[in-house]
């Protein structure tokens, strides 16, 4: 077996067993189950299922739709954090299941929004940080297939044998953004907004791959081959730096709002530091096994695709808001411009399809490292819906929120031609005082797919599949402080800097 036929797409853990390998079926992303969509932050918006494009009227507005900032009338400081637990239950053919659990907590958003008048119209500027895409997870997958031994190693007889390939991976990190956003009330009904975003992504990936012979078989030299025949361990340190623009609009009527947002495509610097250790444990004629250690350093470009969304919000009764959003992401256009042969666990001697060796892979899809014209990555659509009802008392407003959502992973699942369906619901509430707003939301995501297959002699699934059910429970909390007119030190400081003291 070629020691380098086990690619991992950009460290996002998309192991694909390349053409010519005994295990020719793709193994889906086994560490990340999220949709990769950079959804907005904040317990209020997420409490409504994330359907906040046409609402976007608090200190987290720019992360959903920057045009919503124009609705703010007081300076707001927003802080958001989350804690998450991911539970994976793997069910194999026959009785029994294995459950594992991992968890982490992180800050998710921080922003300062300052409204003022410009040209007789309301305008708000916001400086913010967001953990846009969380790259956190761990998992494993396997494929069992029958293959001739001489296809694995030329020194072995042409006998049929069963092999099991197991991949285990884990990673941590995130794509984060620093944003300068503005919302401007162009007319009494129409607001426009934009965000200038600086992306900085850093993530670490570690994993292993083992190919094991089921049973034992003799070699022509009289020896015995059994157990593990191939092993691979790797560690990758990766980073991305880029700048991007978002644009949004908000059209607001007394009982209806319509909003839209476009996150424009961008290109950024991508860096990789990778160490790969491989062991080929079938001895050669001299009785020696092979162990190699390789280090790669890659500097390339990552092109991120366009994402756009539209939302509608209705207010049929006082205190009640109903909202729905639709978004579309073009993941098929996510590419790495140059990947040297051997890096990212790719073939060390790639060919151009005509048998000629090439030094570098060009424009490979971010998720499966296949050429853009051959990628099995899928564009995805996302639906979100939710509601909020305000219970008003003398001193405090208590919101009640709920929502649902449906999305897909862009990575085709094992044994499928599309990505996993990600579905879930949210429940939220909070306390809204004159200056202080505290919100909390519980979010539950679920997805299910195959992580293990047995293939027949023709490489087709036999129906004996190992399935995984993943449940993610997140608790998101937001704290927003709203200054009043005369107690706003941020406005006073800005006025002093740009206008001067009041007595001048």
User: What band does 224 get if pLDDT is binned at 50, 70 and 90?
Assistant: low
pLDDT at 306: 92
Report, as an integer, the average pLDDT of 45-74: 93
- Encode pLDDT of 399-411 as tens digits: 999 999 999 888 8
Residue 13 has pLDDT above 50, yes or no: no
DSSP for 96-144 reads: -EEEEEEEEEEEEEEEEEEEEEETTEEEEEEEEEEEEEE--EEEEEEEE
Higher per-residue confidence, 108 vs 341: 108
CA-to-CA distance for 463 and 455, rounded, in angstroms? 8
Report, as an integer, the average pLDDT of 418-424: 88
Report, as an integer, the average pLDDT of 181-188: 94
pLDDT at 159: 67
CA-to-CA distance for 44 and 51, rounded, in angstroms? 10
- Encode pLDDT of 444-480 as tens digits: 999 888 877 777 766 677 777 788 888 999 999 999 9
Angle at 131 between CA 128 and CA 136, to 5 degrees: 175
Q: Which residues of 446-476 are buried (b: 16+ CB within 10 A; e: fewer)?
A: bbbbbbbbbbeeeeeeeeebbbbebbbbbbb
pLDDT at 152: 59
Higher per-residue confidence, 199 vs 355: 199
Q: Please report, rounded to a whole number, the percentage of residues in the chain having pLDDT higher than 90.
A: 43
| Tokens coding 295 | 């280090």
Report, as an integer, the average pLDDT of 387-397: 93
Report, as an integer, the average pLDDT of 64-89: 92
Residue 488 has pLDDT above 50, yes or no: yes
pLDDT at 349: 65
pLDDT at 322: 98
Report, as an integer, the average pLDDT of 181-189: 94
pLDDT at 247: 97
**Mean pLDDT computed over every residue of the chain:** 82
pTM value? 0.85
pLDDT at 17: 30
pLDDT at 420: 85
How many whole angstroms from its chain centre is CA 427? 22
Report, as an integer, the average pLDDT of 177-197: 95
In 3D space, the residue among 337, 340, 266 whose CA is nearest the CA of residue 301 turns out to be 337
pLDDT at 176: 94
pLDDT at 77: 94
pLDDT at 19: 29
215 phi/psi in degrees, rounded to 5: 95, -160
Residue 34 has pLDDT above 90, yes or no: no
- Count of CB atoms situated within 10 Å of the CB of 111: 26
Residue 504 has pLDDT above 90, yes or no: no
pLDDT at 338: 85
pLDDT at 503: 53
- Encode pLDDT of 130-146 as tens digits: 998 888 887 777 888 77
DSSP state, residue 412: E
Q: Do 92 and 140 contact (CB within 8 A), yes or no? A: no
Report, as an integer, the average pLDDT of 12-19: 29
User: What band does 127 get if pLDDT is binned at 50, 70 and 90?
Assistant: very high
pLDDT at 218: 62
CA-to-CA distance for 119 and 142, rounded, in angstroms? 63
**Domains (ranges, CATH) in the chain?**
9-102+129-498 (2.40.160)
pLDDT at 22: 30
Residue 14 has pLDDT above 80, yes or no: no
Residue 380 has pLDDT above 80, yes or no: yes
Residue with token string 């049973």: 215
Most confident of 93-102, 227-236, 333-342, 420-429: 420-429
pLDDT at 16: 28
In 3D space, the residue among 300, 361, 367, 360 whose CA is nearest the CA of residue 332 turns out to be 367
């Amino acid at each position: 077996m070629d020691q380098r036929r086990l690619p991992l797409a950009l460290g996002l853990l998309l192991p694909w067993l390349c053409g010519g390998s005994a295990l020719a079926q793709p193994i889906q992303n086994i560490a990340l189950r999220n949709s990769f969509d950079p959804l907005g932050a904040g317990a209020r918006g997420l409490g409504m299922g994330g359907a906040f494009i046409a609402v976007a009227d608090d200190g987290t507005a720019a992360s959903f739709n920057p045009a919503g900032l124009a609705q703010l009338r007081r300076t707001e400081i927003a802080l958001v954090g989350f804690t998450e637990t991911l539970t994976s239950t793997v069910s194999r053919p026959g009785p029994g299941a294995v459950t594992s659990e991992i968890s982490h907590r992180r800050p998710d958003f921080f922003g300062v929004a300052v409204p003022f008048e410009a040209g007789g119209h309301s305008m708000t500027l916001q400086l913010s940080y967001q953990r846009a895409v969380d790259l956190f997870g761990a998992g494993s997958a396997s494929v069992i297939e029958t293959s001739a031994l001489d296809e694995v190693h030329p020194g072995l007889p042409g006998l049929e044998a069963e092999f099991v390939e197991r991949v285990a991976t884990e990673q941590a990190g995130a794509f984060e953004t620093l944003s300068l956003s503005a919302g401007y009330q162009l007319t009494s009904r129409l607001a426009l907004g934009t965000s200038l975003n600086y992306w900085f992504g850093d993530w670490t990936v570690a994993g292993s791959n083992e190919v094991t012979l089921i049973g034992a078989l003799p070699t022509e030299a009289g020896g015995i081959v059994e157990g593990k025949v191939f092993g691979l361990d790797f560690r990758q340190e990766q980073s991305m730096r880029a700048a991007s623009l978002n644009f949004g609009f908000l059209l607001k009527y007394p009982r209806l709002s319509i909003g839209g947002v476009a996150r424009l495509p961008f290109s950024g610097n991508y860096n990789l530091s990778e160490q790969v250790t491989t062991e080929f444990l079938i001895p050669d004629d001299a009785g020696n096994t092979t162990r190699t250690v390789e280090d790669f350093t890659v500097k390339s470009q990552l092109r991120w695709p366009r994402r756009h969304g539209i939302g509608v919000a209705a207010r049929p009764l006082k205190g009640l808001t109903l909202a729905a959003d639709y978004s579309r992401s073009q993941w098929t256009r996510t590419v790495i411009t140059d990947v040297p042969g051997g890096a990212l666990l790719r073939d060390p001697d790639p060919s151009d399809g005509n048998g000629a060796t090439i030094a570098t892979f060009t424009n490979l899809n971010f998720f499966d490292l296949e050429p853009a014209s051959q990628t099995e990555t899928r564009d995805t659509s996302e639906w979100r819906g939710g509601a909020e009802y305000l219970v008003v008392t003398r001193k405090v407003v208590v919101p009640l929120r709920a929502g649902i959502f449906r999305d897909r992973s862009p990575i085709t699942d094992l044994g499928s031609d599309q990505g996993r369906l990600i579905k879930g619901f949210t429940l939220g509430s909070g306390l809204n005082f004159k200056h202080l707003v505290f919100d909390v939301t519980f979010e539950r995501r679920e997805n299910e797919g195959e992580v293990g297959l047995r293939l027949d002699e023709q490489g087709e699934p036999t129906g004996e599949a190992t399935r995984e059910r993943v449940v993610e429970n997140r608790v998101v909390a937001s704290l927003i402080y709203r200054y009043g007119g005369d107690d706003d030190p941020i406005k006073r400081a800005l006025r002093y800097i740009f206008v001067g003291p009041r007595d001048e």
